[in-house]
A and B are shown apart, each in its own frame.
Chain A
Amino acid sequence: MSFWLDQALAQAELSNDCLAEHRAKSLEALRATPWPTRKTEAWRYTPLLSLDNSVIDEPNDNIDYPGSPEGVELIELFFVNGKLQSNINVAVEGLTIASLDNLNDEQQAVAKTVCQSAKPSRHLFGMVNDVLAKQGVLISVADGSDIKPIIRLVHLQNGGQSHVRHLIKLGQGAKVSVIEEYRGEQSFVATSFSEFDLGDDAVLNHYRFGLQTGAAKALAGCHFNLANRSQMHSTLVSFGSVLSRLDVDINHAGEHALATQNAIYLLADKELFDLHSNVEHMQPHGTTEENVRGIIGDSAKAVFNGRIHIHRYAQKTLAELNNRNLLLTPKAEINTKPELEIYADDVKCAHGATVAELDNKALYYLRSRGVSEQDARIMLNFGFINELIEQMPAEPLCEWLQGELRTRFGDLRTQLSVEG
């Protein structure tokens, strides 16, 4: 058992809100779950020692707000150290956003159906979040509503512990774009989980920018339920930190659903990042396409586990997963495991994983035009990531994010130039 978990649970107050039942159930399950060790498959490469061993910084309100992407209409909500900063004041037809600690009866009913519907119970920190998260929002999009502004949920933290849960429901044919953004580099613990429930024909554009780094201990999850003909397009961008873990679940609960997911990780120093992605095809005619790319520098470590599970009934599924990695230094490390579990025969499934060097031909081409080797390497590394960024549906977001990434590449600059 973990000292951190004991303490965290000791502080849990089982308040009597609409999610109380969910909390109680998870608390019980959590107590019966052994603390992961190296032998626990889901935590094989990711030690949790830092949770018990590090001193947590005192949180304070003196925090810098990041700039906003320009050229897009945004609805922005800021969470500082796990607390929503202002009242929610949204007047968009068909869109409801409400703080979890302030839901009316109708909203409570929605929250109850979404909570723990997409997130499976096996995620340890998901259960912790079940029990402890009191903050977060319910976003509900009415049937047929196409919400133009992008909802941006910004989370800033500089100490302490935070547990935030977002529940997002898209009615039939509803369309919405949601950005989850997480920042902070001090020593803190954050569990951040969100669940998305898509109705028939709904379309979700999802962005998750997990930019926590340094001493942050970030344990997170994104979970999606897809009903008939619904579509999700998700982009995940992650930096690493002392401990960063993201669990993603995509459930094809309806037929003819489409999921595309692009994920990027960019690691430096002694950072760790662990992405576990799981796709459940439970119904026929589903399509999933996942592209995961990482650049790992210094003595950072990346972990990727990408599972695709095709159930017996899910005939005519198309599923593809591709993971590519670049190691920059002799101390950098990647552990990747794409998994296929297939029980239906009339499906097309493939996965691939590579760890490689930069393309020598491309390097030669750039240099033959007079670009220095160092610049050529940086350009190619950036291009490797940028290929996925450019697929994001919102172009202004693209430019904003490219700026963020260039800063990160600046930090990696010296390593990008050394060969092997």
Chain B
Amino acid sequence: MSDLIEGYLNMELLRFTTAGSVDDGKSTLIGRLLYDSKAIFEDQLEAIERASERAGSDEVNLALLTDGLRAEREQGITIDVAYRYFATPKRKFIIADTPGHVQYTRNMVTGASTANVAVILVDARHGVLEQTIRHSYIASLLQIPHLIVTVNKMDLVNFDEKVFEDIKDQFRKLAGKLEIKDVRFVPISAKYGDNVVKRSENMPWYEGPTLMYLLETIHISSDWNHTIMRFPVQYVIRPQSDKYHDFRGYAGRIASGVFKPGDKVTVLPSGLTTRIKTIEMMEKQLDKAFAPMSVLMTLEDDIDISRGDMIVGENKAPQVGDEIEIMLCWLNETPMRLGGKYYLKHTTNDLRCLVQDVEYKVDINTLDKIHGDKSVGLNEIAKVKLRTTKPLYYDSYRTNRVTGSLILIDEATNNTVGAGMIV
């Protein structure tokens, strides 16, 4: 194998989301990352140069790289989550780009749900603002494992170390109130490229890594839970061919834990126990499977299992119940109905639920809890009690992002209206 392939097959995938208020320089930063890592193709660059000329600017506007649909271009804003891709020799990156404006919370929650890293922008001139609190809160609520605070536009504050240090202090105070495990700070200028991909010569006082270096090296393989065994059954495979006459396999994606042939497992909801016979993928037999692998499992005993069931390990049973508490982010223009019924999707399970109570709402600008106000509208976050039509097998979102997350769907419109994290 050539080195090219060798290197490529050892690349990891890192998903990150970017958050900043309008004009903090988010589009410029993403453009800079793509441009300096040479992830921009020539024809795209030409298209941007043409568009920049039409818009009447003479220097190439990196922000245009990440600008999307026409309607938005006409309004001069971006309205949704857009995904960007680039790779360096070390990693492949997926950026969930969530622009900052009214719909912000909803978009950021969406982008954050699968992210390993959140890159939060702070304008060096303005420091930590309400928006920064909001973005950091969402990152912690969604349990993004790593946070990188980039202090942008350092060129506009004379690359002053004190400005950077002050913002770090401000942020640390804020982070103390949130559940953020890993925070890093980088002083940058997205416009001129300082400390984005290339080291800045203007900030010799900064000895830490560039943003790109962090993105390339942050340790992410332990972001998945490899201790508690959870395998939601997604699809039952029964070939019913001569060769595979009695074959019954359970297809799905490992949510967490490590599964091995011979392991003792319990099937929920039946509670029956058996052992794993094989774990396979096409004609390949695997000696172990772990998150986020998609595999096929066969079991020693013939047990009646269908989609929505969960195969779990012996070490720690999931919680079971039809009354659950969640942190809910509302995603729809039509407010949540207290006492209303919704479809609920949790792992591979479809059921229905009733909204029983709103315990409190969170003021995401101050992080204060608001008691007594039971209305939950678009972009609002609240702690809510649900009652489900059948028991759910779950873990808290804090311990398991897969078995601890759920969505609510409006029964009339079929729209996804709520994102829930089980407390």
Q: Do A and B come from one complex?
A: no
Q: Which residues of B contact A (CB under 8 A)?
A: none
Q: Which residues of A contact B (CB under 8 A)?
A: none
